[in-house]
Structure 1
């Protein structure tokens, strides 16, 4: 049988973490604490890597390595893989989607700025990586190193963010983004509704077809940004790498529309789904469609976590 004290000593040595293990444990604590941020950051970065990547390949090859249909497929794949990467935080990848979940699905309001910042920075990181990967192709296509144009036959700014078609009016631009964003949120809520057919574990695949459909059916006029982080983050990167002030002024200062319309569109799309289909917990399924909350700006009314915090303390 042997000396039991020896086995106890060996067990104590085995259970005592080494210095490296203690450091790993410390990082594990940081990772757990920042899980939502890391998840949304890397998920959105993956989204832009594939999304801007496919646009870069089509544009910089002069259309010989793909076409608009390729871009629709690429963005669908981008969203699917981004949701897989960012699944631990819910895979929102879009501040407007996060807002809609705060409004209608009880997502903690305190997480909205965390998610939005992570999504914006992730989009910027993805765009910077795409630019670094294709820099030589940018130089060759534009006609020389350092030449970066927003408009014209060799313009490449559209690799990073969206620009409207020349014939679009300001009203048309806003309406196009609003409609696409409404469709996005309406369908996401339908896919996530357990009392409907429900996508379940197939949600990322369903989102692939959803984004492909929006791009193929509603993407031509404005580029279907439907996401502040997806558009503003890469646009900011394009400004920083030398495209100049025109990234803001092009299309009659179109840049603000993908920053505003997705929030209104997603809020409206979620509202429509909850009014006509959803039967679960939602402010819409309360007296006056939840409008009475506007008259009661107390934390106990607006906070999505206030009651659970009280119950935890009790």
Structure 2
């Protein structure tokens, strides 16, 4: 048996070690979550919250300033940067999906379990709801200045577009479905390009590339719906805005609301497998570089020669 004072000495040394840590490291030592699913769920919740808080702020600034403080390209650039920096935030935990369409594609690729997918979808949606609420609270005075007490989905004082997508009357629900299918397919296809190790894109560059992908899609196909291409991004704010605008947020355009929730799920899976079917599965394996040391009869090195 160890003497009692030995255990006490160890405890004292541990306390002294903790006392010398920086405040952030002290916090880490006390609250660090070690369960992988819980840790990833926390990251997905917080990252989606940040994404919506920033992204909706960009849209609100555009609409509530009568399109004077932002332009369409500002929206694309802003959302791209929001994606990049929020994904960087969670890159070492969940990887930063923040999008059920990305998550379900990862399930089909064997990179995420069904149980984890269900948890991700729940926390992503909750994060989107709270991010929407936070953005609204910060811009509440601007909403009141723009529309007074009116909270309308359509008309001159309409502000519901600050939260989620509403197609113009001339855009059919069929067009909307394929718009969301195609846009999300492009998103996930290029996500697969970036994360495929055979393409040798440095991991540190992945979040930036994801942001650029979103910018590209927005500048190409944002005209129909504003490219939500993310069920949580559209449904979360729509649920929050229901308490401001009423049932119109769900009944608008013959119950359009389900399209940006369902179509991206199919589009994401299609895009992921389209990449692997047409390109990913056919990338040749890279031979690792090898170096040989040539030796003489006495086992002394002569020179280095690279393997051709």
TM-score for the superposition, normalised by structure 1: 0.80
Distance 1:72 1:253, change over 3 A: same
Asked if the contact 2:228/2:260 (under 8 Å) is kept, the reply is yes
Inter-partner Cα distance in structure 1 for 2:127 and 2:106: 20
Q: Is the 8 A contact 1:248 1:254 kept in 2?
A: yes
Residue 43 (1) aligns with residue 42 (2): no
Counterpart for residue 213 of structure 1 = 216
Q: 1:259 aligns with which of 253, 261, 266?
A: 261
Alignment partner of 2:87: what SS? helix
Secondary structure at the counterpart of residue 124 of structure 1: helix
State the distance in 2 between where 1:277 and 1:33 align: 32
Structure 1 unaligned spans of 5+: 281-314
Q: Unpaired runs of 5+ in structure 2?
A: 19-24, 283-308
Q: Which residue of 2 aligns with 1:185?
A: 188
Within 2, Cα distance between the matches of 1:22 and 1:182?
43
Bigger fraction of residues in helix: 1
RMSD across aligned positions (CA): 2.5
What is the aligned length? Answer: 271
Counterpart residue number, 2:78: 74
Q: For the structure 1 residues 195 and 152, does the alpha-carbon distance in structure 2 shift closer, same or farther, using more than 3 Å as the test?
A: same
Deviation at 1:253, TM superposition (A): 1.3
Partners of 1:180 and 1:33 in 2: how far apart?
Answer: 29
Residues 276-308 of structure 1, C-alpha deviations (whole Å, 9 max, x = no match):
11239xxxxxxxxxxxxxxxxxxxxxxxxxxxx
Alignment partners' CA distance in 2, 1:9 and 1:154: 70
Q: Does residue 1:99 correspond to 2:104, yes or no?
A: yes
Paired residues for 1:164-313 under 5 Å: 164-240=167-243, 242-279=244-281
- Report the alpha carbon displacement of residue 28 of structure 1 after superposing the two structures with TM: 2.7
- Runs of 4+ displaced beyond 3 Å: 5-12, 21-27, 29-33
Distance 1:8 1:176 in 2: 65
| Distance change >3 Å, CA 16–CA 86, structure 1 → 2 | closer
Between the aligned partners of 2:29 and 2:37, the Cα distance in structure 1 is: 12
Give the drift of 1:261. 0.4
Partner of 1:289: none
Q: 1:193 to 1:250 in 2, by over 3 A?
A: same
- TM-score when scaled to structure 2? 0.81
Greater Rg by CA: 2
In the alignment, is the contact (CA less than 8 A) between 1:46 and 1:85 conserved in 2?
Answer: no
Is 1:113 matched with 2:118?
Answer: yes
Report SS of the residue matched to 2:49: helix
- 1:15 correspondence with 2:11: no
2:127 to 113, 122, 136: 122
